[in-house]
Chains A and B, each alone.
Chain A
Amino acid sequence: MKIGVFICYCGENIGRTVDCAAVAQAASRFPGVVCSVDYKYMCSDPGQNLIKNAIKEQKLDAVVVGSCSPHMHEKTFRKACADAGLNPFLCDISNLREHCSWVHEDIVEGTKKAIDLIRISVERVKRNVPLTSIRVPVTKKALVIGGGISGIQAALDIANAGFEVVLVEKEPSIGGHMSQLSETFPTLDCSQCILTPRMVEVYQHSKIKLLTYSEVENVEGFIGNFKVTIRKKARGIDESKCTGCGLCMQKCPIKKKAFSEFEEGLAYRPAIYVPFPQAVPNLPVIDRSVCTYYQSGKCQMCVKVCGREAIMFDQQDTLITEDIGAIVVATGYKLYTIDKKPDDSEIKGYGEYGYGKYKDVVDGLQFERIASASGPTDGEILRPSDKKIPKKIVFIQCVGSRDESKGFSYCSKICCMYTAKHAMLYKHKVHDGEAYVFYMDIRSGGKGYDEFVRRAIEEDHVKYIRGRVSRIYEQDGKYIVKGEDTIAGMPVTIDADMVVLATAMISQPESKKLAQTIGVPYDKYGFYNEVHPKLRPVEVSTAGVFLAGACQAPKDIPESVAMASAAAAKSLVLFGSDFLEREPTVAKVAESVCAGCFYCQKVCPYNAIERKEIKDRQGNVIKILAYVNSGLCQGCGTCNAVCPSKAVELIGFNDEQIYAQINALG
């Protein structure tokens, strides 16, 4: 056997505390080693050529590279070997940097240890066998969870590249929070005007299968090969018959029982309803909790007026399964409310602002509806309690956000901008009105963002007060807002007609449950965690799952859209090839030894152990053994460690190799 050893100095990183030339010289005397060289930068082009030429010229059977961590350059060196015609799995990396030079100071001791590390690596590589990567097919279909602007963008990008998309939205319509917004910062263009064409595009796209009023129930499988179960909740409507004429909504006798979710509780909706006129799909849904028929078996007004016989009271939920290659999670956010929370809750409400009891103390989304041309006041700024024009509005930023005593330490990021927008919209509509903004800091980083805030202050004369509000209470029809002006060092009291709270953006209430279903890590607030905050911002640790939008952290529309396109691009990278190459270093069960105890199944963190029936010639099951699904196996070796009969082998990392390494240290 001919083995080549290549020792890298890594500039000074290894060279400083390891005498690389001495290591190379020592290695040249190890049994089986036919060439041993050292070089300043082995990962560089000339360095790689050293390896390639040695393989060709000396007909090497295996290679050991003494360099940095295999995390860094294992791929580089294996590829160099493959280029020279050597099986890449006959290349072993000995970590002389993180495991030796970086953690030692003495060059004599460091060199000694480096020689030992190379020695054991040589013994190990002698027992390496050529392996070929596992090829798994890729299902070229994406699942996008969430039909807000992020989900819409990701779905359109993937579908426009020519791949199938299943878009799942839990509400009856797509559009998300963006469909509720009046105008958008920093350009003040109408939210609906820019969003609804996209919604229609999704609906009409031949490559997009739209499942609204549906939720992801289960996800099995692995990258390229997910099997997803989706629950399509019963609308109570035959979708193939309904034309969306809206007669059922008009005639439904439930007028003032259910608050409209779309209008953020500022208006009522019937029991059978389409969330908003531009909803996609334009199909109603029956709210069974208020519908008279479901309560008492009477009414059926909608059945009587529907000319298409589309009402189906007895419709049941249906389960749909889909084969999926990549998943984009775009489940969005929710707004925090100031109402009283249960005692055991980590987040607290605002007793000092009345725990939500004042009708004219509204949150940001409610103000969006009040300011929206399609809202309950047709865009006229009227306060909810008496429908009068408020002459003085106080906007309070950071309600919840950045307030640890309320359970949040993070900044919700968009509030500085939308508060400036709200104040501006108000001033544009109520010219003699006064707008005050209480703020902690103005965080307006972004293209044209700070200019926007300055415009609110300088052109629209919004009065910004730096400080917190300690109390809001009602007195003689006014809302008394008591706060502090920390720049003037004075307490401030404002008798406002209306108060708008920029409450924190929080994760969706079901976010943790969904994360557990898909295998997405999340932080303590329920926001999803990316693999790397800088270099892999849309990937999660489960391969084949990508993040888009505010489900990861609070963010605005441009950022959500950019992230959605990034998640789509990542999905498309996956769809770019017919097969996925996976590391062959996975576990394998020796069927003649396995006793079928399934300890391995209990400990496997990736659910990769399956049950395999062994049958005789007549087809009778004679025993059941463990079987490793190599698509799911990550090669962690836990099954290998627990197997009482030593039936599990981790390919490329077997017991024989480990014993040889230990023995080499003698």
Chain B
Amino acid sequence: MKVGYYPGCSLTGTGKEYDMSLRKVVNLLETELEELNDWSCCGATSAHATNHLLATALPARNLIIAKHQKLNELVAPCAACYNRMVVTSHELNSNSALERQVADLMGESARNGIKILNIIELFQKIGLNKIKEKVKVDLKGIKAACYYGCLLVRPFDITKFDDAEHPESMEEIIKSVGAVPVDWNFKIECCGGAHSIAHKEIVVDLSKKIIDDAQRNGADVIIVACPMCHSNLDMRQKAIKKEFPTHKEIPVLYLSEFVGLALGLKPKELGLGLHLIDTKSLLEKAEIKG
């Protein structure tokens, strides 16, 4: 099976381990990722917040590339990229005036039937049974809190993916690799997103609440599917600890990293060493050697 791949900026920078782990895991699951040639920025927060046409044109450029590469499906592992791609695709298909405007800018129409996938949908497409078959490491003692954040399941009318108020698709993947998803309350609460840069205190406050609830419900690890969520929950734990000295650190893993561990990939191959919070506690509990 071949699926188009749009890594986006985060996966080449702060979320490098997301890219590393995803490529290796998908390879083990006999799926080929075909990266878009010369892909560009998805616009994410900045374009989206300032100029609607630009916010549409940027993802449209990548959709045109995907069309040229004759891709039917395109996975965008970053939740922000996924959201921009899905929303743009929807707008191009439903708003003819905007579609023409973008086509004028780009020199060709970006309208197409490409299905945009997030990472959960990619795993669903590969098949949970297939993942189950390939599991090599027993993770049944591990309790995982699946964190969806905001962009993965919204806006529901466009993404038509899972239950926006009570998503459970990531839990299914966690179960398929043998671990135990915890029942918790903050899986779609806001992590503070891009405020991390300008208003760190907001992110410290929100992320602490999320982590506290995961720990209260017995989680050994928080699983994410978004580089922004990862940096806020992982990186900001140091700041949380400074403000709340009793804070107990908890590893935060990308979904692809966690699945990778179950499939027998080494922590180093998955880039766990790039995290700011040590993943040792998790690895020890799972009896995985570094």
Contact = CB atoms under 8 A, between A and B. Distances in A.
- A and B physically associate: yes
Interface of A: 340, 350-352, 355, 471, 473-476, 480
A353 B122 CA distance: 29
A355 B166 contact: yes
B185 A473 contact: yes
Contacts of A474: 185
17 contacts: A340-B166, A350-B165, A351-B163, A351-B164, A351-B165, A351-B166, A352-B165, A352-B166, A355-B166, A471-B185, A473-B185, A474-B185, A475-B185, A475-B213, A475-B216, A476-B216, A480-B185
Contacts of B164: 351
Nearest to B164: A351
Chain B facing A: main interface SS: loop
A394 B165 CA distance: 21
The 3 A-B residue pairs with the shortest CB-CB distance in the complex, in nearest-first order: A351-B166, A351-B165, A473-B185
Contacts of B165: 350-352
A475 B184 CA distance: 10
A492 to B, nearest CB: 16
A636 to B, nearest CB: 43
A337 B53 CA distance: 43
Nearest to B167: A351
A170 B166 CA distance: 36
A474 B184 CA distance: 9
Contacts of A351: 163-166
Given A473-B185, A475-B185, 10 more contacts: A351-B163, A351-B164, A351-B165, A352-B165, A352-B166, A355-B166, A474-B185, A475-B213, A475-B216, A476-B216
A481 to B, nearest CB: 12
A178 B148 CA distance: 44
User: Which residue among B163, B164, B213 has the maximum number of chain A CB atoms within 10 Å of its CB?
Assistant: B163
A351 B187 CA distance: 12
Contacts of B166: 340, 351-352, 355
A331 to B, nearest CB: 32
A466 to B, nearest CB: 22
A473 B186 CA distance: 9
Interface of B: 163-166, 185, 213, 216
A471 B187 CA distance: 12
A476 B185 CA distance: 12
A419 to B, nearest CB: 23
Nearest to A476: B216
A216 B164 CA distance: 42
B209 to A, nearest CB: 10
B53 to A, nearest CB: 29
A480 B166 CA distance: 16
Contacts of A473: 185
A352 to B, nearest CB: 4
A490 to B, nearest CB: 16
Nearest to B212: A475
User: Which residue among A340, A350, A351, A474 has the maximum number of chain B CB atoms within 10 Å of its CB?
Assistant: A351
Contacts of A475: 185, 213, 216
B184 to A, nearest CB: 8
Contacts of A350: 165
A365 B213 CA distance: 32
B277 to A, nearest CB: 24
A365 to B, nearest CB: 24
A351 B185 CA distance: 11
A468 to B, nearest CB: 13
B205 to A, nearest CB: 13
A480 B184 CA distance: 13
Nearest to A353: B165
Nearest to B168: A351
B212 to A, nearest CB: 9
A351 B153 CA distance: 13
Nearest to A343: B163
A471 B165 CA distance: 9
A311 B166 CA distance: 48
A648 to B, nearest CB: 52
A474 B213 CA distance: 10
A572 to B, nearest CB: 51
Contacts of A480: 185
User: Which residue among B166, B213, B216 has the maximum number of chain A CB atoms within 10 Å of its CB?
Assistant: B166
A483 to B, nearest CB: 14
A350 B216 CA distance: 24
A578 B185 CA distance: 68
A404 to B, nearest CB: 12
A471 B185 CA distance: 9
Contacts of A476: 216
Contacts of A355: 166
A574 B184 CA distance: 62
A380 B110 CA distance: 65
Nearest to B217: A475
B147 to A, nearest CB: 15
A340 B166 CA distance: 10
A98 to B, nearest CB: 41
Contacts of B163: 351
A63 B28 CA distance: 93
Nearest to A480: B185
Contacts of B185: 471, 473-475, 480
Nearest to B213: A475
B86 to A, nearest CB: 19
A475 B214 CA distance: 11
User: Which residue among B165, B185, B213 has the maximum number of chain A CB atoms within 10 Å of its CB?
Assistant: B165
Nearest to B156: A405
A480 B216 CA distance: 14
A267 to B, nearest CB: 27
A352 B213 CA distance: 16
A111 to B, nearest CB: 50
A593 to B, nearest CB: 59
Contacts of A340: 166
Nearest to A355: B166
Contacts of B213: 475
A397 B216 CA distance: 30
Nearest to A352: B165
B74 to A, nearest CB: 25
Nearest to B185: A473
A340 B162 CA distance: 13
A350 B163 CA distance: 10
Nearest to A472: B185
Nearest to A354: B166
A340 B164 CA distance: 13
